[in-house]
Amino acid sequence: MKKGIVLMLLVISLTVANSFGQRLRYRNIKNDYSLSNYNEKVDHQHYSPFLAGALNFVLPTVGYYYVDEAMRGMMILGGELLSFSVAIYGLTGVLSPDFGGITPAYNSRTVMYAGVIALNAFYLWSIIDVVHIALVKNMALEERRQGLTLRINPDLGIACILNRNLPVAGIRLTMTF
């Protein structure tokens, strides 16, 4: 009975140790995969690139949550909010009346246009980026799915026990990944 409990605890601890830290992060795999022949390499899409892009189009940075890259989405959202605030700052300068003959409208228009251009650049880049992340993660997950095998084989051998060679029979568990 004690051997069974010890064996069960060993199996559980190895399973937990093996799964700990196995979260797939884009920054760790982005240089390992190229998108050429994507349709031939990926049979099952875990993340839909179309859905990720559509979510990001409708609600900015929601696509990053879909592909499990929330921190990257928050950084993109911060950039979008910063560029939006620059555009609003420029707009308030354009709409404000002249004070003492000083006209800040020319500089304000430049600031407003810079903010609008930066906002649109962030917005479009985030859509392209989230689609790319979904594609790369699909390739990595497909490779992991194909690379994991678990085999149980009979094991016959000879063991040296107390200076005697004795035949030993058992089961060998082999996991490759």
As a whole number, mean pLDDT of residues 113-122 equals: 94
pLDDT at 127: 95
One-letter amino acid of 76: I
As a whole number, mean pLDDT of residues 73-81 equals: 92
Q: Which of 22-26, 41-45, 58-62, 142-146 has the lowest mean pLDDT?
A: 22-26
State whether the Cα torsion 106-109-114-115 is positive or negative.
Answer: positive
Q: Which of 77-81, 125-129, 144-148, 165-169 has the lowest mean pLDDT?
A: 144-148
Please, which residues have CB within 8 angstroms of residue 153's CB and are 6 or more apart in sequence? Answer: 171, 172, 174
pLDDT by residue (tens digit) across 47-76? 999 999 999 999 988 999 999 888 899 999
What is the per-residue DSSP string for 50-77? HHHHHHHHHSTTHHHHHTT-HHHHHHHH
One-letter amino acid of 132: H
Q: DSSP 3-state assignment of 177?
A: coil
Residue 24 DSSP class: -
